[in-house]
Every structure is written in C-alpha cells, then in structure tokens.
Amino acid sequence: MNKDYRWTVLFLCSLVGWFFWQEINHFLSPVHLSLYLGGLLITFGILRLPLYSGLIHSVLIATWLDAASPTYPFGTGILAFALLHLGIYTLRRKISHDTSAWMILTALLVNFLLFLFWTVYHYPRQIDPSGYLWRSLVDLVISQIATTIVAVWFFSLQNALLNLCHMPLDEESPLSP
C-alpha cells in the first residue's frame, strides 16, 4: 500500500520559507514594518495535493505558526488555515492550478484573507485603533508585494524538491515509494 508523504516535503520546505520570513521581519522591525507570508506557505499544498495530504500540510503549518505566536490562543490559526484550505480546495477545480500566474493570484488571495482575519482578530486589543489600521494597510501592501516577488521562487523550490524525492504532483498517478 502506497502512502502519500508529499506533505512532509512541503512542510519542510515551508519551514525553510518561514525561517527566511522571520529573518526578513527581524530586519524590518527597526522601521516598524512586518511581512505576513502565511498564505504563501500553504498555497502549493492547497492547489497541488489531494485533500487530506494538503489539509495535513496546512494544519501543520498553522500549528507551527500558532506555537510561534503568543498573541492568541493556540488553535486559532489551525481553525483559520483549515477552513481557508477547505474553501479554496472546493474552488480548485475552477482554478487552473498548473500555471504559475493562477498560483500566484491564489497565493495573494489566501495571504490577503489570512492577513484580514488576523487584523480583525487583533483589532479590539489595540490602544490606537486608527494607527493600527494604517500600519496594517502598509503591512498588507508590502506583504502582497513580497508574496508576488517570492511566489515563483517558492513554488519552484517546492516543485523541485518533490521531483528530487521522486514524488509525482499528479494526484491521479500512483505514488512512488
């Protein structure tokens, strides 16, 4: 019986992406900016993996992000990522997920929806709500620009690692050992 372990390759690749994302945020912190690239980390799994493998990947990434962020209860991100994964997965048949342009647009949509969720979630706790909204808008703009720039490289990295591990992307084909 073959098992689908492609989510492990994507999870490890996403951890590398998360590491670089945190390093960029470290360098942006003196100018009071931050990037959010959570949508970029899960888009490839949503569009290219079967439902359960992709959902495992999204939930593991959300678990990692939840554990790294002490500002909200553990599990909040897991619920948001899982619901978004299921929503985008249902629309996946209508998205041409073999072209990089549609994958980038999907990554931008997923990133925007997750960013919007976290902005609305943190809004009631802010001392200066109007300042928070302006900063969130600037952070959203630079996050979407960064997602657009990095998406092609990140999707190519994930694709190359799957090919290196002899794991096909076509979900109807038999999996290699």
Q: d(Cα 18, Cα 29) in Å, to the nearest integer? A: 16
How many domains does the chain fold into?
1
pLDDT of 69 reads 77
Is 175 inside any structural domain? no
Cβ proximity of 112 and 39 under 8 Å: yes
Q: Give the chain's mean pLDDT.
A: 84
Give the mean pLDDT of 103-131.
85
DSSP state of 176: P
Model confidence pLDDT, tens digit, residues 5-62: 888 889 999 999 899 999 999 999 899 888 999 889 999 888 888 888 889 999 999 9
CATH code of the domain in which 59 resides: 1.10.1760
pLDDT band of residue 128 (cuts 50, 70, 90) is confident
Is 29 inside any structural domain? yes
Asked if residue 171 has pLDDT above 50, the reply is: no
pLDDT of 134 reads 86
pLDDT of 129 reads 75
CB-count exposure of residue 171 (10 Å: 0-12, 13-18, 19+): middle
**Secondary structure (DSSP) of 95-128:** S-TTSHHHHHHHHHHHHHHHHHHHHHHHGGG-SS
Q: How far is CA 85 from CA 44, 47, 53, 57, 77, in A?
A: 11, 9, 11, 10, 12
pLDDT of 176 reads 32
Asked if residue 148 has pLDDT above 90, the reply is: yes
What type of residue is 61? I
Residue 151, domain extent: 6-164
